[in-house]
């Protein structure tokens, strides 16, 4: 209890001393706040400048095709690595959409899976001679994309029903207009790449015609025109109707992740790069030859290096200014000590110990330093 009373007395005396010399206290505080603000502004400014450059560079990079800055795309191309079955991708699929997305170290804003089959020639339902390529509407792949229903408009018809017979498909507005296809048309998808002695003919019906609701949203991992030669089906139809009919039905698999990079800074950039490499290795172990074709890893490496270089450069420019401020603070402290010599002498003559005198000075310094640190941080954030 006695200790608490002593501490209370020390703080009261310190406040009274500071208040008694308000102008000197204000000058000291101003110098400390300025020094803290200048010192903290340098790394904050460098971080902010290069983070903005990083976002712009990642968004406009030609390879990323205007993707969000912190987008990741994992691509399996069956024409290079060999087509696979639905069962073959289950382990990598669950990993990338769940544990892998979390392992990248940033909050996930969007996760999408896209699957495509091999190419089929699309013929009218009454076609008997599939060798006649001129009679075909063109070559199309069956495809399914998670959450695409939330990002398209049905121009005509409706979204395909699961389990419908014949299989219901969506075609793009551009394809329907170019080929003259309409809702309700019955067609045959002919697997021309298969052995002609045992050809696969799949009856399909056009359930609807679609267009992108907003082609510029982050959802579109491929530009909407890429979908013009795809016959979109629901995921249940792909798994339960197409998959049993086809051998190694998946010739393209894409996993697209958009993460929130607002918390990225120089302190965690290296960790994010390492996490990206770890997820890529794990995905390739689960599905050999899956490639991480879009990643911010290279940009993050460059961002960290350049931000550190700018911090060093700006600090070098600030050294003379900070030196002047510290000299100003030293001058103010010297004035304060001179003004308090008599006060210290009186305290010592009345039984005050050197420890008590030092304690008062220490508490005074801590109070001024704490206030200056808080105000300096606020000022630095305001300047940046």
pLDDT of residue 200: 81
pLDDT of residue 1: 61
pLDDT at 342 over 70: no
pLDDT of residue 197: 58
Please state which of the ranges 6-10, 109-113, 146-150, 362-366 shows the lowest mean pLDDT: 6-10
What proportion of the chain, given as a percentage, has pLDDT over 70?
Answer: 64
Write the CB contacts of 347 (distance below 8 Å, at least 6 apart in sequence): 356, 357
Helix 297-339 / helix 341-349 crossing angle, nearest 10 deg: 70
Mean pLDDT across 35-45: 68
Contact (CB, 8 A) for 252 and 291: no
pLDDT band at 378 (very low <50, low <70, confident <90, very high): confident
pLDDT at 61 over 70: no
Question: What DSSP assignment string belongs to 213-235?
Answer: S-TTSTT-SS-GGGGGGEEE--H
Contact (CB, 8 A) for 49 and 309: no
pLDDT at 63 over 60: no
pLDDT at 65 over 60: no
Residue 85: how many other CB atoms lie within 10 Å:
13
- Answer positive or negative: Cα dihedral of 280, 283, 284, 289: negative
Residue 236: how many other CB atoms lie within 10 Å:
13
Greater confidence (297 vs 1) lies with 297
Six-digit token string for 62? 């030609």
Cα within 13 Å of Cα(205), Cβ side: 15
Question: What DSSP assignment string belongs to 21-48?
Answer: THHHHHHHHHHHHHHHHHHHHHHHHHHH
Write the CB contacts of 261 (distance below 8 Å, at least 6 apart in sequence): 55, 69, 70, 106, 296
Q: Give the tens place of pLDDT for each residue, 345-356.
A: 666 566 666 666
- Answer positive or negative: Cα dihedral of 81, 85, 88, 90: positive
Phi-psi region of 138 (alpha: psi -120 to 50; beta: other; left: phi over 0): left
Mean pLDDT across 33-42: 70
What proportion of the chain, given as a percentage, has pLDDT over 90?
Answer: 42
Q: Give the tens place of pLDDT for each residue, 254-286.
A: 999 999 988 887 778 888 889 999 999 999 999
Query: What is the average pLDDT score of the chain?
Result: 81
pLDDT band at 334 (very low <50, low <70, confident <90, very high): low
pLDDT band at 62 (very low <50, low <70, confident <90, very high): very low
pLDDT of residue 322: 63
So where are the chain's domains? 2-50+304-383, 70-295
Mean pLDDT across 36-65: 64
pLDDT at 44 over 80: no
Mean pLDDT across 361-365: 66
pLDDT of residue 364: 66
- Reference 293, options 103, 74, 108, 128; nearest CA is 74
Q: Give the tens place of pLDDT for each residue, 209-256.
A: 999 999 989 999 999 999 999 999 999 999 999 998 888 889 999 999
Greater confidence (126 vs 148) lies with 148
Six-digit token string for 261? 């990079």
Q: 3-state class of 62 per DSSP?
A: helix
């Amino acid at each position: 209890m006695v200790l608490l009373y002593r501490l209370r007395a020390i703080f009261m005396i310190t406040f009274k001393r500071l208040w008694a010399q308000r102008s000197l206290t204000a000058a000291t505080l101003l110098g400390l706040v300025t020094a803290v603000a200048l010192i903290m502004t340098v790394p904050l400014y460098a971080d902010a400048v290069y983070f903005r450059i990083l976002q712009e560079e990642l968004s406009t990079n030609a390879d990323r095709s205007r993707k969000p800055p912190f987008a990741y795309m994992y691509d399996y191309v069956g024409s290079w690595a060999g087509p696979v079955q639905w069962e073959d991708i289950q382990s990598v699929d669950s990993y990338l959409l769940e544990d892998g997305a979390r392992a990248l170290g940033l909050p996930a804003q969007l996760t999408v899976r896209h699957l495509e089959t091999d190419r089929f020639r699309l013929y009218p339902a009454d076609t008997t001679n599939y060798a006649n390529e001129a009679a075909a509407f063109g070559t199309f792949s069956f495809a399914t994309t998670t959450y695409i229903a939330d990002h398209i408009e049905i121009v005509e018809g409706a979204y395909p029903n699961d389990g419908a017979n014949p299989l219901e498909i969506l075609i793009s507005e551009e394809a329907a207009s170019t080929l003259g296809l309409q809702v309700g048309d019955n067609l045959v998808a002919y697997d021309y790449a298969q052995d002609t002695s045992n050809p696969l003919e799949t009856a399909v019906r056009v359930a609807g015609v679609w267009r992108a609701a907003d082609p510029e949203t982050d959802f579109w991992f491929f530009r909407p025109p890429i979908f013009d030669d795809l016959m979109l089906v629901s995921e249940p139809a792909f798994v339960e109707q197409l998959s049993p009919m086809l051998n190694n039905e998946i010739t393209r698999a894409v996993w697209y992740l958009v993460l929130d990079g607002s918390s990225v800074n120089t302190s965690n950039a290296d960790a994010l790069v390492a996490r990206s490499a770890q997820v890529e290795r794990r995905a390739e172990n689960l599905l050999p030859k899956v490639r991480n074709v879009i990643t911010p890893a290279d940009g993050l490496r460059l961002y960290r290096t350049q931000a550190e270089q700018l911090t060093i450069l700006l600090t070098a420019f600030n050294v003379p200014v900070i030196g002047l401020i510290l000299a100003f603070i030293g001058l103010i402290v010297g004035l304060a000590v001179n003004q308090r010599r008599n006060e210290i002498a009186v305290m010592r003559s009345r039984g005050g110990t050197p420890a008590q005198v030092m304690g008062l000075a220490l508490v005074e310094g801590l109070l001024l330093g704490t206030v200056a640190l808080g105000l300096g941080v606020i000022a630095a954030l305001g300047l940046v």
